[in-house]
């Protein structure tokens, strides 16, 4: 399977470590769930709303607009995938150390405190460090970055299409289930 990183980057707007993690999570999701089965066949439940989610939407086709991307607001770097046909369900969690700076550069922060003159050099160093981190995330064996846990399937309803009605008060078309009847 090849993932076109430049397309993912274009979709998200920039390349960052969070996006890189999302790319690897999506790669694992496709391996586990099959490559882009039918629309809405796979549902993603994302336990965070960071940059990684954009890579997941772009690569797996689980999107907010189709209703097969559901945000669970837990603030965790974990992503669940559920396949409707056989109810296979997994939770992919990012290993905590995946976010750590690589060991040889750990003195960076203390150096920055010591000298203001070296601020520019530190900035370059920090950029290089970030670059190195992304390269590592994009090339490391999946098992070093993430782990997969089997979970119980919890099937959400398929995306509903509601009719929209013009609201008598604001004049805007609104989903009928969100409108209220007031004084008749
Ligand atoms: Zn980003």
Q: Which domains are present in the chain?
A: 5-100+130-178 (3.30.1330.130)
What is the β-pairing status of strands 78-83 and 146-150? Answer: unpaired
- Residue 110 Cα to ligand 1 middle (Å): 26
How far is residue 144's CA from residue 98's CA, in Å, rounded to a whole number? Answer: 8
* Å from CA of 17 to ligand 1 middle: 7
CA of 135 to the centre of ligand 1 (A): 15
pLDDT digits (tens, 9 = 90+) for 52-94: 999 999 999 999 999 999 999 999 999 999 999 899 999 999 9
Arithmetic mean of pLDDT, 7-24: 95
> In the chain, which ranges are continuous DSSP H helix?
5-12, 17-33, 52-60, 108-114, 119-139, 142-145
Kindly give the distance from the C-alpha atom of residue 88 to the centroid of ligand 1, in angstroms, as a whole number: 30
**Cβ count within 10 A of residue 182:** 7
CA separation, residue 162 to residues 42, 157, 177, 181 (Å): 22, 14, 7, 17
* Look-up of token digits 């997994």: 90
Q: Which residue reads 């750590």 in tokens? A: 100
Reported confidence tier of residue 106, pLDDT bands at 50, 70, 90: very low
Considering the entire predicted model, what is its pTM? 0.79
| Among 80, 128, 124, CA closest to 104 | 128
Kindly give the distance from the C-alpha atom of residue 160 to the centroid of ligand 1, in angstroms, as a whole number.
30
**C-alpha 172 – ligand 1 centre gap (Å):** 34
- In this structure, the chain runs to a length of 184
What's the gap in Å between 1 CA and the centre of ligand 1? 23
Q: 68 CA distance to ligand 1 centroid (A)?
A: 22
State the distance from the centre of ligand 1 to the C-alpha of 119, rounded, in angstroms.
Answer: 24
- Span from the CA of 149 to the centroid of ligand 1 (angstroms): 26
Give backbone dihedrals phi and psi of 5, rounded to 5 degrees, phi first.
-60, -35
Q: What pLDDT does 112 receive?
A: 52
Sign of the Cα torsion 105, 107, 108, 109 reads positive
């Amino acid at each position: 399977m090849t993932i076109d990183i430049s397309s993912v980057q274009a979709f998200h707007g920039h390349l960052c470590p969070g996006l890189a993690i999302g790319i690897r999570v999506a790669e694992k999701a496709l391996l586990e769930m099959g490559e882009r089965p039918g629309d809405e066949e796979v549902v993603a439940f994302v336990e965070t709303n960071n940059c990684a989610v954009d890579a997941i939407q772009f690569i797996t086709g689980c999107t907010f607009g189709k209703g097969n991307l559901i945000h669970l607001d837990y603030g965790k770097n974990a992503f669940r995938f559920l396949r409707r046909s056989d109810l296979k369900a997994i939770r992919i969690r990012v290993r905590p150390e995946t976010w750590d700076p690589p060991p040889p550069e750990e003195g960076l922060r203390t150096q920055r405190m010591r000298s203001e003159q070296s601020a520019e050099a530190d900035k370059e160093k920090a950029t290089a460090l970030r670059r190195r981190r992304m390269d590592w995330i994009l090339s490391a064996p999946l098992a070093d970055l993430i782990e997969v846990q089997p979970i119980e399937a919890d099937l959400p309803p398929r995306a509903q299409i509601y009719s929209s009605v013009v609201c008598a008060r604001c004049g805007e078309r609104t989903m009928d289930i969100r409108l209220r009847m007031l004084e008749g």
